[in-house]
Amino acid sequence: MGLFRRAAVCVIATVLVILFEVIFWDMSIELASTKVESLSHFRPNYTDALSKTILFFEGQRSGKLPPDQRMNWRSDSAIDDGQSIGVDLSGGYYDAGDNVKFGFPLAYTTTLLAWSTLEFSHMMGDEAKNAHAAIRWGTDYLLKASSQIDDNILHVQVGDTYSDHSCWQRPEDMDTLRTVATITASKPGSEVAAETAAALAASSLIFKSLDRDYSQLLLNRAIQVFEFADKYRGSYNDSVGYFACPFYCDFAGYLDELLWGALWLYKATGNEKYWNYVSTNLEWIEYDNPGEFGWDDKHAGIYVLIFKKLIQEDPSNHSIQKASTFSCLIMPESPNRIVEYSPGGLIYKSATNMQNVASLSFLLLVFSRYLESSSRTVRCGEITIQPSRLVQVARSQADYILGKNPQNMSYMTGYGDRFPQRVHHRGSSLPSVRSMPEKILCNGPESIQMKTKPNPNILVGAIVGGPNLTDVYTDDRDFFVQTEPTTYVNAPMVGVFAYFSHLQKNV
Ligand X SMILES: *[C@@H]1O[C@H](CO)[C@@H](O)[C@H](O)[C@H]1NC(C)=O
Does the protein bind ligand X through residue 282 (CB under 6 A)? yes
Minimum separation from the CB atom of position 285 to ligand X (A): 11
For ligand X, the closer of residues 118 and 469 by Cβ is 469
CB 360 within 8 A of CB 289: no
Q: Per rule CB under 6 A, is residue 250 in the interface with ligand X?
A: yes
- Cα-Cα end-to-end distance for the chain: 43
State in angstroms the smallest separation of the CB of 177 from ligand X.
22
Q: Which of residues 50-79 bind ligand X (CB under 6 A)?
A: 51
What per-residue string of b and e applies to 80-106 under the rule 16 or more CB within 10 Å gives b?
A: ebbeeeebebbbbbbbbbbbbbbbbbb
Phi, psi dihedral angles at 114 (to 5 degrees): -70, -40
For ligand X, the closer of residues 126 and 382 by Cβ is: 126
CB 379 within 8 A of CB 336: no
Q: What is the nearest approach in angstroms of ligand X to the Cβ of residue 474?
A: 6
Residue closer to ligand X, measured from CB, 89 or 339: 339
Query: Catalytic annotation on 424?
Result: yes
Q: At closest approach, how far in Å is the CB of 250 from ligand X?
A: 5
Phi and psi based region of residue 231 (left: phi greater than 0; alpha: psi -120 to 50; beta: remaining): alpha
- The residues in 262-281 that bind ligand X, with binding defined as CB under 6 A, are 279
Among 472, 476, 478, 505, binds ligand X (CB under 6 A): 472
Q: Assess contact for 415 and 402: CB atoms under 8 A.
A: yes
Residue 236 beta carbon to ligand X: minimum distance, rounded to whole angstroms:
9
Between 89 and 460, whose beta carbon lies closer to ligand X? 460
Asked if residue 408 binds ligand X (CB under 6 A), the reply is yes
Pick from 143, 179, 217, 253 the residue near ligand X by CB under 6 A. Answer: 253
| Residue of 48, 333, 475, 502 marked catalytic | 475
Asked if 504 touches ligand X (CB under 6 A), the answer is: no
User: Which of positions 226-245 make contact with ligand X (CB under 6 A)?
Assistant: 235, 237, 245
309 vs 389, which CB is nearer to ligand X? Answer: 309
6 touches 351 (CB < 8 A) = yes
Least distance to ligand X, CB of residue 416, Å:
11
Active site residue 475: yes
Catalytic residue among 424, 425, 446, 471: 424
Q: How far is the CB of 183 from ligand X (least distance, A)?
A: 13
Cβ neighbours for 229, distance < 8 A, ≥ 6 positions apart: 188, 189, 190, 193, 194, 196, 197, 254, 257, 258, 261
Q: What binding mask, one character per residue, do residues 22-51 give for ligand X by CB under 6 A, x or -?
A: ---------------x-------x-xx--x
d(CA 296, CA 85): 28
Binding mask 153-182 for ligand X (x = CB under 6 A): ------------------------------
Question: Which bin fits 379, alpha (ψ -120 to 50), beta or left (φ > 0)?
Answer: beta
Q: What is the DSSP string of 381-449?
A: TTEEE-HHHHHHHHHHHHHHHHT-STT---SBTTSSS---SS-S-HHHHS--TTT--SPPPTT-HHHHH
Backbone phi, then psi, for 35, in 5-degree steps?
Answer: -110, 125
Contact assessment for residue 411 and residue 419, using Cβ atoms and an 8 Å cutoff: yes
Residue 470 interacting with ligand X (CB under 6 A) = yes
Q: CA-CA distance, 333 to 385, in Å (whole number)?
A: 9
- Identify residue 474 by its one-letter amino acid code: T
Among positions 313-332, residues that touch ligand X (CB under 6 A) are: 314, 317, 319
C-beta separation of 346 from 397 below 8 A: yes
Of 298 and 426, the one with the shorter C-beta distance to ligand X is: 298
Interface pick for ligand X out of 34, 468, 475, 503 (rule CB under 6 A)? 468
If phi > 0 it is left, if psi is from -120 to 50 it is alpha, else beta; for residue 114 that is: alpha
Which residues are designated catalytic? 424, 475, 484
Which residues in this chain contact ligand X in the complex, by CB under 6 A?
37, 45, 47-48, 51, 235, 237, 245, 249-251, 253-254, 279, 282, 310, 314, 317, 319, 407-408, 468-470, 472
